[in-house]
């Protein structure tokens, strides 16, 4: 019954453990940091891509997640797993991205912080078509779900979170998680049917 998603690599095992690599990276060993990135980057990217639905934005969020890890190495105390820490940061950054997309569909078109040229960044139909083309039908159907509903579904079926982990992240009971998952899964099934997928 249990299905394991291939969409993101499972949490890596084997080799030098994450806590050890973290310790080495905090002590300035750049190779250790590189190994942490190699080990977790695809998984974080798989998560962010399904949440924001835009490859470039997902790359930016993934990069920002690891740069935050880099800046936090000296003060970081990972009570859970490094993957859990990265997931929390990545999800928060995705929420920021959603907020920007919804509240302000424009932003500076320049990297120069002094320039505040207002440009409409809402994808036009052609861009939207390109985004869709780059994604599979199921990913496209996922993007039809409301953000928070998509988040629960992706955390469970793409990242592979347990009910307990989702409940902790969302500050709710496992029963509520089941209920939210059920609504999300039904919405996903309907979206797939709308798209005429098998």
Partner 1 sequence: MAEEHDIDLQRYLDDMLPDNERVRFERRLEREPRLRADFDRLHAATAKLAALEPRPLSSAVTERIVAARAANTRRQSAGGAERRRVAAVAAAVVLAATAGFFAGRLSGGTDTNAETSLAGPLPSGLISGLARDPVADAALRTTADADAPSFLLLLHGPPAERLEGLPEDMHSWRETATSEWARALEATGRLVASGGVTEGATGLEEGETDGNVDLADPSRWYAEPWMLPTQFFVLRAKDLEEASRLAAVLPHTSLGGRISLRQLTPSTP
Nearer Cβ to partner 1 (95/121):
95
Exactly one of 18, 62, 101, 155 binds partner 1 (CB under 8 A); which one?
62
Stretch that binds partner 1, among 11-19, 82-90, 104-112, 118-126 (CB under 8 A): 82-90
| Burial (CB count <10 Å: 0-12, 13-18, 19+), residue 107 | middle
Helical (H) or strand (E) element with 21? helix 18-26
Q: Structure tokens of 4? A: 């394991």
Q: Least CB distance from residue 85 to partner 1, whole Å? A: 6
Site for partner 1 in 122-141 (CB under 8 A): 136, 138-139
Q: Structure tokens of 42? A: 């695809």
**CA 158, CA 141: separation in Å to the nearest integer?**
14
Site for partner 1 in 135-174 (CB under 8 A): 136, 138-139, 142, 153, 156-158, 163, 169-171, 174
Q: Least CB distance from residue 127 to partner 1, whole Å? A: 19
Q: What is the dihedral of CA 6, 152, 120, 136, to 10 degrees?
A: 30
Nearer Cβ to partner 1 (45/129):
45
Q: Least CB distance from residue 117 to partner 1, whole Å? A: 18
Nearer Cβ to partner 1 (21/33):
33
**CA 81, CA 87: separation in Å to the nearest integer?**
10
Q: Is residue 142 within 8 Å of 153, Cβ to Cβ? A: yes
């Amino acid at each position: 019954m249990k299905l394991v998603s291939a969409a993101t690599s499972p949490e890596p095992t084997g080799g030098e453990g994450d806590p050890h690599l973290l310790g080495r990276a905090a002590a300035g060993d750049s190779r250790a940091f590189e190994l942490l990135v190699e080990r977790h980057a695809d998984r974080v990217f798989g998560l962010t891509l399904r949440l924001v639905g835009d490859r470039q934005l997902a790359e930016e969020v993934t990069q920002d997640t690891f740069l935050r890890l880099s800046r936090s190495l000296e003060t970081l105390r990972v009570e859970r797993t490094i993957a859990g820490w990265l997931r929390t940061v990545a999800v928060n950054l995705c929420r920021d991205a959603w907020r920007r997309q919804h509240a302000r569909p424009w932003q500076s078109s320049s990297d120069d912080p002094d320039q505040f040229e207002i440009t409409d960044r809402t994808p036009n139909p052609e861009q939207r078509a390109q985004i869709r083309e780059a994604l599979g039908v199921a990913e496209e159907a996922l993007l039809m779900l409301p953000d928070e509903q998509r988040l629960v579904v992706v955390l469970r079926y793409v990242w592979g979170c347990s009910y307990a982990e989702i409940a902790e992240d969302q500050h709710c009971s496992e029963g509520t998680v089941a209920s939210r998952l059920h609504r999300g899964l039904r919405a996903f099934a309907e979206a797939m049917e709308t798209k005429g997928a098998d």
